Amino acid sequence: MSSFENILVGNGITKRFGGMTAVSNVSFDLRKGEILGLIGPNGAGKTTLFNCVSGFLKADEGTFTFEGKVINRFNPDKICHLGLGRTFQAAKNFPDMSMRENVRMGALFGQRDMTYAEAERLTDETIAFVGLEKYAGVAVPDMPLAMQKRIEVARALATKPKVIMLDEMMAGLNPAEVSEAMDLVRKVRDSGITVLMIEHVMKAIMSICDRIIVLHHGELIAEGPPQEIANNPHVIEVYLGGEV
């Protein structure tokens, strides 16, 4: 296992809630520069795994290694400063702040020793990158869902991450918005950021991911390129229900 290639490695991750094992002995690697899809039925443990990586939950067993450094015991702010950004399934924007203020929070606090002037510049740059310029003056709760999810992406990008974890960024979007979101994910990857994404929209996951890992009842049941996953009998049985 080369530490240059694998930017984030999970090794034997287990997380229990009381008697329920949400994530069970999961190992995966995230290769620098790729888009890795994380799929699985509801309750498979995908978001729990995200929560463990980003420091909200502490894994009971196993280690996460980010750029060669074990990050299990770090708090979320430290993990952010190391270069791991994420979004949430239900957009967690700050409702009392404008779109721009939301993004600026990421710019202002995401890196140590950030000056105001630098944060302002980064905020404008990030807003332009995700294409939200025309919403500058709109209150966040009044924006369409697709745009609210985009703010979250912008806010995470403003922290200048090396890895971004997207939690169901495309859920609830219409087909046109999904394809715009797919373009954004590709653009993020092309800018040099490694992407780990949880997604249910199969069209998106199959066309943009380099590799996919599949969780079922907290266990990793498959790993491989999209075509291989789509034809994996076990995956079809537990997850795709024979559709593909």
Partner 1 sequence: MDTFLLILINGCAMGSVYALMAMGLSTQYGVARILNISHGEFIVLAAFITFVVHTRTGIHPLICLLIACPLVFAISFLLHITLFKRVKKISPNMGVFEGNAILVSFGIYFIVQNMIQSSMGSAPHSFPFMMYPYTVGGVNIAASSVFVMVIAAIICVAYSVFLSQTRLGKSIRAAAQDPQAASLLGVKINRIMAICFGIGGLLAACAGVLITMREPFSSVSGIGYTTIAIIIVVLGGLGSVKGAILGGFIMGIAGYAISTFVDSVFMISAFYMIIMVLLVVRPKGLMGR
Chain contacts with partner 1 (rule: CB under 8 A): 54-56, 75-77, 80-81, 85-86, 88, 92-97, 105-106, 108-111, 116, 155-156, 159
Cβ of residue 107: shortest distance to partner 1, in angstroms? 9
Residue 101: CB minimum distance to partner 1, A:
8
Report the residue number, 78 or 134, with the smaller CB distance to partner 1. Answer: 78
Smallest distance, partner 1 to C-beta of residue 88, A:
7
Whichever of 164 and 214 has its CB closer to partner 1, that residue is 164
**Cβ closer to partner 1: 79 or 213?**
79
Is residue 165 within 8 Å of 85, Cβ to Cβ?
Answer: yes
Looking at the Cβ atoms of 95 and 144, the one nearer to partner 1 is 95
Residues in the chain, total? 244
Nearer to partner 1, 116 or 133 (CB): 116
Distances (CA, A) of 236 to 61, 68, 102, 200, 230: 29, 35, 40, 14, 7
* CB 226 to partner 1: min, Å: 29
In angstroms, give the least distance from the CB of 192 to partner 1: 20
Cβ at position 38, least distance to partner 1 in Å = 18
Phi (first) and psi of residue 74, to 5 degrees: -80, 150
- Helix runs in the chain, H state only: 46-54, 76-82, 99-109, 116-130, 145-157, 175-190, 202-208, 226-230, 233-235
Nearest to 170 by CA among 195, 135, 194: 195
Across-strand partners of 92?
none
Which of 159/232 has CB closer to partner 1? Answer: 159
Q: What angle do CA 3, 195, 86 make, to 5 degrees?
A: 105
What gap in Å lies between CA 82 and CA 112, rounded to an integer? 10
Under 8 Å between Cβ of 185 and 166: yes
